[in-house]
A and B are shown apart, each in its own frame.
Chain A
């Protein structure tokens, strides 16, 4: 095909974090770029159904929790008929400013936005079906698939978005429920379970694994479960759900294989997410999904078809907005031959539960498997003045160092502020700094960052042993 036949240099499918960054990067490199988005709203699930709405609710949940904790300052109780919309009251403003910012950025870079469903005709041709049924075929030299993901619905969970919700619809509940069952033990389940519990909802979290967030060390998840239980929540691990149904009157019934029955007013099913590739007709481009239902890519984010790249949730783990943005940017750079340097494997993970959790690098368990007798330093937020002042004493920070107690292999935190404080350790690791940097540097006082010094001092002490 001659170059004149191309409508665009690059066509990006999906306008979430990965798609946006792909498009902007390519446009900044002088390419003629379009983004196809099947939703009339720009920004993907992250903006409209996931990350931003849930974090807006979380801010209010934290306020409620703090007011309850400080009963001497304010005798606070949420009304029985509190509407959900009241609890995400700032969402409209947040979304509007985000939408305005994104649109401006796209316009400034001359990225065309197309509302429609994309499907492959061949590896260079995309058919776009508009809502009204009109179709157009566009040709692009490079195509980036950044179509995101949607909630997985197990066969035995009859989601009706009225009593039984998924993670996309949970925030559309009209009223704050009195009780909620959360199925799942992953990031989304943990975030919503603790947010609703902090709002005073009686939450029961059920999962087939023994602990939630199983990819973290057990001391972190134990602290998380303890904090969740202290708020009044119930964690039920090692449970297999057999059947879920609405009793037809007022409760959702969850029956487990061992005979346990849990009743709640509403239920959230957070059983993971699936790549949003339905309808893309990938086979027409010569692409096939891997056994996880994802699009496989190489280290350059290139698929098995030379001119097609993929980024974000469609390629699977880590499925974080932060990582998706960087993947999107890199996919464009790689397609255009722009040098990017190696993509760091050090991607921090942030879990916006209450309390927050965050980690970067190896867990203690992984480090022991790879390095043997690693040295670990732990600081409880109880030992840190800032933790005491703010009542944030449930948290802890852990540094995992190599057997010599020098190289930092991983940093993990649980407690409010974790998703910010982790970046100190993250930067130290990126600079290949030794554990000593935390002892030899001066931190503001009082800050949670001091926990780094306490944990590092422990490692130094163990080093001499």
Chain B
């Protein structure tokens, strides 16, 4: 805390107070995202219900159809109805598309930081896709990995929004560096708060809560490690200048999931497919 500027220090106490009493303003999980998740998990639901749900939101329906028709998902085909898209891609994939479309950067009001927040969200999407493939490789649950990867940094835009609002209220002038320092200090706790508030499955909550330090838990440490490594793979794919292949290969976190070099290579061979899926989801 001593490295914070005096301006940032002025903000630290009220932020701490807000987080401790659960006062950070977190948007509700959009109803359509919540319902899509529930439908995908409910064995009694069918494609018609999912189609009806997505159709209830015109812009979401258009978005889902655009992604479903993209080369990453259905090459060489032309899906004309949502039901057709669901039948082709499955409820799980459609719910993922709906979820990623319904939540994201636009949920938060972060004037001046829109581009940065969009980048954070883009990285979270890439993390979710990588975490999913890493989970599949590690023979464990891909759904948990996807959700935890997607939401692991959801606290960043949420705390940014709070910092910006609070600074305005208290008439504190913060430079960008101060904002990011405060964001780095508090975002993880806010991510935890968001996934709890959104009533995510227990394993997702545990993975998001512990991915920065997962050695104290045994049952969820695999999922937490998948998120951490997924985030590293995402960084390498999006900004190789920040994390090159040589550094990626010797990350200590790989040890938790026993990702030996040939296995990392095998995973990296999916980069083009993951990039295509990411572009589809981000379009």
Residues of A within 8 A of B (CB): 38-41, 80-81, 83, 85-86, 88, 91-92, 95-96, 99, 115, 117, 129, 131-133, 160-162, 166, 168-169, 172-175, 177-179, 246, 248-250, 265
Beta-carbon contact of B219 and A91 below 8 Å: yes
A190 to B99, CA, bound (A): 37
Q: Which residues of B contact A265 (CB under 8 A)?
A: 43
A85 to B256, CA, bound (A): 20
CB distance from A99 to the nearest CB of B (A): 7
Beta-carbon contact of B254 and A173 below 8 Å: no
Beta-carbon contact of B92 and A162 below 8 Å: yes
Q: Which single residue of chain A is at the shortest CB-CB distance from B203? A: A85
Q: Judge whether B135 is part of the interface by a CB distance below 8 angstroms.
A: yes
Can you spell out 19 A-B residue pairs with CB atoms less than 8 angstroms apart? A38-B260, A40-B255, A40-B256, A81-B41, A85-B220, A88-B219, A91-B219, A96-B218, A129-B260, A131-B255, A133-B260, A161-B141, A162-B136, A172-B140, A174-B141, A174-B201, A178-B44, A248-B87, A250-B47
CB distance from A160 to the nearest CB of B (A): 7
A179 to B142, CA, bound (A): 19
Q: Judge whether B172 is part of the interface by a CB distance below 8 angstroms.
A: no
A381 to B96, CA, bound (A): 51
A41 to B157, CA, bound (A): 35
CB distance from B134 to the nearest CB of A (A): 11
Q: Which residues of A contact B5 (CB under 8 A)?
A: none
Extra pairs beyond A40-B258, A41-B218, A117-B260 (11, CB < 8 Å): A85-B220, A92-B218, A129-B261, A132-B261, A162-B92, A162-B136, A162-B143, A173-B141, A175-B41, A249-B47, A249-B90
CB distance from A136 to the nearest CB of B (A): 14
A162 to B146, CA, bound (A): 11
Q: Which single residue of chain B is at the shortest CB-CB distance from A201? A: B43
CB distance from A430 to the nearest CB of B (A): 37
Which residues 174-226 in B have Cβ within 8 Å of A in the complex? 201-203, 217-220
Beta-carbon contact of B250 and A132 below 8 Å: yes
Beta-carbon contact of A38 and B258 below 8 Å: yes
Q: Judge whether B46 is part of the interface by a CB distance below 8 angstroms.
A: yes
CB distance from A49 to the nearest CB of B (A): 8
Residues of B within 8 A of A (CB): 38, 41-47, 86-92, 135-136, 139-144, 201-203, 217-220, 249-250, 252, 254-261
A172 to B143, CA, bound (A): 10
Using known A-B contacts A80-B42, A174-B201, A177-B43, determine if residue A160 contacts B141 with beta carbons closer than 8 Å.
Answer: no
A86 to B135, CA, bound (A): 20
Residue with the highest number of chain A CB atoms closer than 10 Å, among B87, B89, B141: B141
Q: Which residues of B contact A249 (CB under 8 A)?
A: 46-47, 86-87, 90-91
Using known A-B contacts A95-B218, A175-B41, determine if residue A161 contacts B135 with beta carbons closer than 8 Å.
Answer: yes
CB distance from A144 to the nearest CB of B (A): 21
CB distance from B227 to the nearest CB of A (A): 15
Q: Which single residue of chain A is at the shortest CB-CB distance from B261? A: A133
CB distance from B53 to the nearest CB of A (A): 14
A168 to B139, CA, bound (A): 7
Q: Which single residue of chain B is at the shortest CB-CB distance from A49? A: B139
Q: Which residues of A contact B43 (CB under 8 A)?
A: 177-179, 250, 265
A81 to B46, CA, bound (A): 16
Q: Which residues of A contact B91 (CB under 8 A)?
A: 249-250
A129 to B262, CA, bound (A): 11
A156 to B47, CA, bound (A): 27
Residue with the highest number of chain B CB atoms closer than 10 Å, among A40, A91, A115, A160: A40
| Neighbour of A83 across the interface among B44, B89, B201, B250, CB < 8 A | B201
A99 to B218, CA, bound (A): 10
Shortest Cβ-Cβ A-B pairs, 7 listed? A178-B43, A172-B141, A172-B140, A169-B139, A92-B219, A131-B255, A132-B250
A86 to B206, CA, bound (A): 13
Using known A-B contacts A162-B143, A169-B140, determine if residue A39 contacts B90 with beta carbons closer than 8 Å.
Answer: no
Q: Which single residue of chain A is at the shortest CB-CB distance from B89? A: A248
CB distance from B136 to the nearest CB of A (A): 5
A85 to B203, CA, bound (A): 7
CB distance from A426 to the nearest CB of B (A): 33
Q: Which single residue of chain A is at the shortest CB-CB distance from B38? A: A81
Residue with the highest number of chain B CB atoms closer than 10 Å, among A85, A99, A265: A85
Beta-carbon contact of A174 and B258 below 8 Å: no
Q: Which residues of B contact A131 (CB under 8 A)?
A: 254-255, 258-261
CB distance from A211 to the nearest CB of B (A): 29
Residue with the highest number of chain B CB atoms closer than 10 Å, among A86, A96, A115, A169: A169
Q: Which residues of A contact B255 (CB under 8 A)?
A: 40, 115, 131-132
Beta-carbon contact of B203 and A174 below 8 Å: yes
A162 to B86, CA, bound (A): 17
A88 to B136, CA, bound (A): 21
A131 to B254, CA, bound (A): 7
Q: Which single residue of chain A is at the shortest CB-CB distance from B141? A: A172
Q: Which single residue of chain B is at the shortest CB-CB distance from A86? A: B202
Beta-carbon contact of B45 and A248 below 8 Å: no
Using known A-B contacts A133-B249, A174-B143, determine if residue A246 contacts B90 with beta carbons closer than 8 Å.
Answer: yes
| Neighbour of A250 across the interface among B46, B135, B139, B220, CB < 8 A | B46
Residue with the highest number of chain A CB atoms closer than 10 Å, among B44, B89, B91, B218: B218
Using known A-B contacts A95-B219, A249-B47, determine if residue A174 contacts B261 with beta carbons closer than 8 Å.
Answer: no
A160 to B257, CA, bound (A): 18
Q: Which residues of B contact A132 (CB under 8 A)?
A: 249-250, 252, 254-255, 261
Beta-carbon contact of A250 and B41 below 8 Å: no
Q: Which residues of A contact B139 (CB under 8 A)?
A: 161, 166, 168-169, 172
Beta-carbon contact of A85 and B219 below 8 Å: yes
Q: Which residues of B contact A92 (CB under 8 A)?
A: 217-219
A290 to B51, CA, bound (A): 54
A159 to B140, CA, bound (A): 12
Beta-carbon contact of B45 and A174 below 8 Å: no
